[in-house]
């Protein structure tokens, strides 16, 4: 995790903590209005902005995103306190887009492109010219020249240069997006094309200015905690984030105000078993070439929006979140379910699943725990009525889903030629597209959008390596 990513996470967490403190205080409206002023008092140093006043304006917008508003739709003339009025919530929370861009925080990075550095030697081999299929490279004044009108940004001439003289200037958010959903407006600022976006959240961590924000549901959940019976559905990756057992995390969640806690690993066992049955039917009975897993909702959105020809090869089985919510609703029909997990895509999945009412992320849960001064290490163990398998608890790490599936197979696993696609980028999207055209040597493909699996989600709080080790340690 880069230092810029850590700093942007710290800043967003501070906004969340202050918002929760305001909610728990005697005067929620007044204290919410003061958040930007408390974070940047008069005469305070502002290392990244021109002045404290611009920084306060941006902090106001960050607070609005934390309140659940789309920054692009609000009336900036209104004070923060006015957004807590029910009539303004109805007026300005009109869409279900999960990401919002703070234009005033966006640095308007230069357009992503290739350029020739001074290292260029005008070598005789002309490998860069030969590598370009579009005639974009020529030589002028003893140096290679790139015609930006002809260049397709494929990068082949960069790879061909023996001197590494061709550099690529990247826009972090554009580079991170696997489906090119980040566009530039007329002033060079980032815009999200929601018709292309798969809600993977890769752009959130990639932006070094923290300009891309998640619209939160944390306030909605806080309002319900002491008036309704809430059930927490905790993702398998949670043990890698808080470094504690499910029993201690359960106790902490009950201290926060949740009535019941269910491990989503219970649903993972159901998913693995059903996917194993589906795999046998598709490949052994119907002789289909391969099958991919289906538990990563960002991947499912990728297929629906960009790789429709891959759809017949994707498992039709529901995700662990869905099956766990089904168990919870059957046992407690009048309760409200709140999934707690590592990523943004589960919010989008919950919008489509009537069994899941709200979604909190690990960063939001951490903010609540910090505000309430709960020490999870000191919490007592709460025993669980039903314990999932080791395989289900390892759904969160790369290879965990395919291993769980193979555990439930009734056929010889020597038949399995599995492949793990993780950290979905533009190259992996092209690879999956080629697989749909029949160019695939594997028959079981686990696809996880985030690096390392769910432990690398955009809303996690621990480094991937440490989280991976903790999940595996607890599962055993």
Task: Quote the Cα angle for 378-233-196, to 5°.
Answer: 125
Model pLDDT, residue 5? 66
Give the pLDDT mean for 225-233: 94
- Better pLDDT: 8 or 30: 30
Percent of the residues in the chain that have a pLDDT greater than 90, as a whole number: 67
Model pLDDT, residue 4? 57
Give the pLDDT mean for 216-223: 95
Model confidence at 237, in pLDDT bands (50, 70, 90)? Answer: very high
Mind listing the pLDDT tens digit for each residue in 366-385? 999 999 999 999 999 998 77
Model pLDDT, residue 1? 57
Q: Where does residue 414 rank: exposed (0-12), middle (13-18), buried (19+ CB within 10 A)? A: exposed
Which of 158-167, 170-179, 404-413 is predicted least confidently? 158-167
Which of 158-162, 203-207, 329-333 is predicted least confidently? 158-162
Return the exposure string of 361-389: e unless at least 16 CB atoms fall within 10 Å of the residue's CB, then b.
bbbbbbbbbebeeeebeebeebeeeeebb
Model pLDDT, residue 244? 93
Query: What are 401's two structure tokens?
Result: 């889903």
Query: What is the spatial distance between Cα 312 and Cα 333, in angstroms, rounded to a whole number?
Result: 34
Q: Report DSSP letters for 391-460, one per residue.
A: HHHTTTBTTHHHHHHHHH-SS-GGG--EEEEES--HHHHHHHHHHHTT----SEEEEESSTTBGGG-TT-
Quick check: 148 and 168 in contact, CB under 8 A?
Answer: no
CATH of the domain spanning 113-169? 3.30.70.20
Model confidence at 442, in pLDDT bands (50, 70, 90)? Answer: very high
Instruction: Note the residue count of the chain.
Output: 476
Model pLDDT, residue 461? 93
> Is residue 288 scored above 80 in pLDDT?
yes
Mind listing the pLDDT tens digit for each residue in 304-348? 999 999 999 999 999 999 999 999 999 999 999 999 999 999 999
> Is residue 3 scored above 60 in pLDDT?
no
> Is residue 231 scored above 60 in pLDDT?
yes
- Better pLDDT: 180 or 7: 180
Mind listing the pLDDT tens digit for each residue in 61-99? 999 999 999 988 888 889 999 999 989 888 888 788 999
Query: What are 365's two structure tokens?
Result: 């849960």
Give the pLDDT mean for 87-112: 84
Model confidence at 287, in pLDDT bands (50, 70, 90)? Answer: very high
**Which residues of the chain form CATH 3.30.70.20?**
113-169
Model confidence at 362, in pLDDT bands (50, 70, 90)? Answer: very high
Model pLDDT, residue 221? 97
Give the pLDDT mean for 450-458: 95
Torsion angle of the four alpha carbons 117, 121, 125, 127, in this order, in degrees rounded to the nearest 10: 0
Query: What is the spatial distance between Cα 328 and Cα 385, in angstroms, rounded to a whole number?
Result: 13
Give the pLDDT mean for 166-173: 86
- Mean predicted lDDT score pLDDT of the chain: 91
Give the pLDDT mean for 269-284: 96
pTM to 2 decimal places: 0.91
> Is residue 437 scored above 80 in pLDDT?
yes
Model pLDDT, residue 34? 96
Q: How far apart are the two ends of the chain, measured CA to CA in Å?
A: 27
């Amino acid at each position: 995790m880069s230092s810029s990513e850590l700093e942007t996470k710290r800043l967003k967490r501070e906004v969340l903590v202050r918002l929760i403190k305001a909610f728990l205080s005697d005067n929620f409206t007044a204290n919410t209005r003061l958040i930007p002023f408390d974070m940047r008092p008069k005469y305070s140093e502002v290392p990244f902005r021109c002045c404290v006043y611009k920084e306060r304006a941006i902090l106001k917008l960050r607070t609005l995103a934390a309140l659940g508003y789309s920054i692009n739709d609000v009336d900036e003339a209104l004070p923060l306190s006015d957004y807590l009025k029910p009539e303004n919530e109805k007026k300005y929370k009109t869409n279900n887009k999960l990401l919002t861009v703070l234009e005033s925080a966006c640095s308007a990075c230069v357009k992503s492109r290739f350029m020739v550095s001074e290292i260029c030697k005008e070598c005789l081999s002309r490998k860069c010219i030969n590598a370009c299929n579009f005639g974009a490279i020529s030589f002028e004044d003893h140096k290679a020249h790139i015609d930006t009108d002809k260049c397709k940004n494929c990068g082949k001439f960069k790879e061909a240069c023996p001197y590494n003289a061709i550099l690529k200037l990247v826009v972090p958010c554009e580079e991170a997006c696997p489906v090119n959903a980040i566009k530039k407006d007329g002033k060079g600022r980032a815009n999200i094309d929601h018709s292309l976006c798969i809600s993977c959240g890769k752009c959130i961590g990639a932006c070094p200015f923290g300009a891309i924000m998640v619209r939160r549901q944390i306030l909605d959940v806080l309002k319900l905690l002491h008036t309704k019976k809430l059930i927490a559905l905790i993702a398998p990756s949670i043990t890698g984030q808080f470094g504690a057992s499910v029993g201690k995390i359960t106790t902490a969640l009950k201290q926060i105000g949740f009535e019941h806690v269910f491990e989503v690993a219970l649903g993972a066992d159901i998913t693995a078993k059903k996917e194993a049955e589906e795999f046998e039917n598709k490949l052994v009975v119907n002789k289909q070439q391969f099958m991919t897993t289906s538990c990563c909702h960002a991947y499912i959105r990728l297929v629906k929006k960009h790789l429709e020809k891959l759809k017949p090869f994707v498992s039709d089985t529901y995700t662990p979140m869905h099956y766990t919510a089904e168990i919870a609703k059957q046992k407690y029909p009048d309760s409200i379910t709140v999934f707690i997990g590592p990523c943004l895509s589960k919010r989008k999945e919950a919008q489509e699943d009537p069994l899941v009412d709200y979604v909190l992320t690990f960063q939001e849960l951490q903010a609540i725990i910090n505000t309430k001064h709960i020490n999870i290490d000191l919490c007592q163990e709460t025993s669980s009525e039903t314990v999932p398998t080791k395989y289900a608890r390892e759904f969160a790490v790369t290879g965990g889903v395919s291993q769980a599936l193979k555990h439930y197979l009734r056929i010889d696993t020597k038949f399995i030629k599995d492949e793990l696609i993780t950290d979905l980028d533009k190259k992996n999207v092209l690879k999956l597209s080629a697989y749909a055209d029949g160019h695939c040597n594997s028959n079981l493909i686990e696809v996880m959008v985030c690096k390392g699996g769910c432990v690398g989600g955009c809303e996690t709080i621990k480094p991937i390596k440490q989280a991976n080790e903790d999940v595996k340690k607890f599962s055993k």
